[in-house]
Amino acid sequence: MTEIVDRLPAVAATPMRLTLKFMRLFVAAGGLLMALTFFVVVIVRYGFSGNLFAYEEWLLAISFWTFFLGAALAAERKSHVNADILGVVLGRSRLAWWRGLAVYLIEFVIGIYIVYWCYLAVESEIIAYPLWEKTTALKIPAVFPRTAILVGFFFMTLFNTIYMILHIIDGPARFETGRLEAGK
């Protein structure tokens, strides 16, 4: 776990730690399930001349959760791809702190916007009841995988916001000494 947990007040740190742990386990299991399913598909096809009927329906639905919980964890680790060239050039100067702040603010605003339209989509899906969109064979409601996208972006934005607050608390002076690791 990263500083996001370490620097959180104890009340928030414990549920956060548990959430992250759950996400890590889910993502690991989801990846293994993906591989195992295809392995079994091949075995069943040649070993038993059989077929896993409509396995793509549940596998894809679960995979959306794997992908977007993984993406949430990536935000907690600050692993999302960016062009870090300015970071290399500016080092740990005051200017770098201001650039970090600008980046955090933009990511905060756009992040909230993304969460907003994800929410709109999931909401419209839910209120369409009883005409819920479902998969053809197994009737898995589309709300299930789509909620994964909403939850994923929600956590990405949440983690990012916490980093932003830590960045502001640290301020340019402490940032420059490099004692804290909140800067991008």
For another protein, the binding residues in 76-95 under the rule CB under 8 A are 77, 79-88
Q: Please tell me whether residue 166 binds another protein under the rule CB under 8 A.
A: no
- Which residue number, 11 or 129, has a Cβ lying nearer to another protein? 129
* Interface with another protein in residues 126-145 (CB under 8 A): 131, 133-137, 139, 142, 145
CB of 179 to another protein, least distance (A): 21
Does 183 sit near another protein (CB under 8 A)? no
Please give the Cα distance from 34 to 93 (Å, whole number). Answer: 45
- Alpha-carbon distance of 39 to 81, in angstroms, equals 31
Q: How many residues of this chain bind another protein (CB under 8 A)?
A: 80
> Of 65, 75, 79, which is closest to residue 34 (Cα–Cα)?
65
**Is 8 exposed, middle or buried, given 0-12, 13-18 or 19+ CB atoms closer than 10 A?**
middle
Site stretch for another protein (CB under 8 A), options 11-19, 115-123, 161-169, 172-180: 115-123
Q: Between residues 136 and 177, which has the closer beta carbon with respect to another protein? A: 136
Distances (CA, A) of 12 to 3, 15, 16, 83: 13, 6, 6, 32
We find the least distance from the C-beta atom of residue 116 to another protein, in angstroms, to be: 8
Considering only residues 19 through 48, tell me which ones interact with another protein, judged by CB under 8 A: 24-25, 27-32, 34-39, 41-42, 45-46
Per rule CB under 8 A, is residue 146 in the interface with another protein? yes
Residue 109 makes CB contacts below 8 A (sequence gap 6+) with none
- Asked if 18 touches another protein (CB under 8 A), the answer is no
| 5 is a contact residue toward another protein (CB under 8 A) | no
For another protein, give the closer residue by CB, 11 or 56.
56
Please report the DSSP string for 12-67 in residue order: HHHHHHHHHHHHHHHHHHHHHHHHHHHHHHHHHHHHSS---TTHHHHHHHHHHHHH
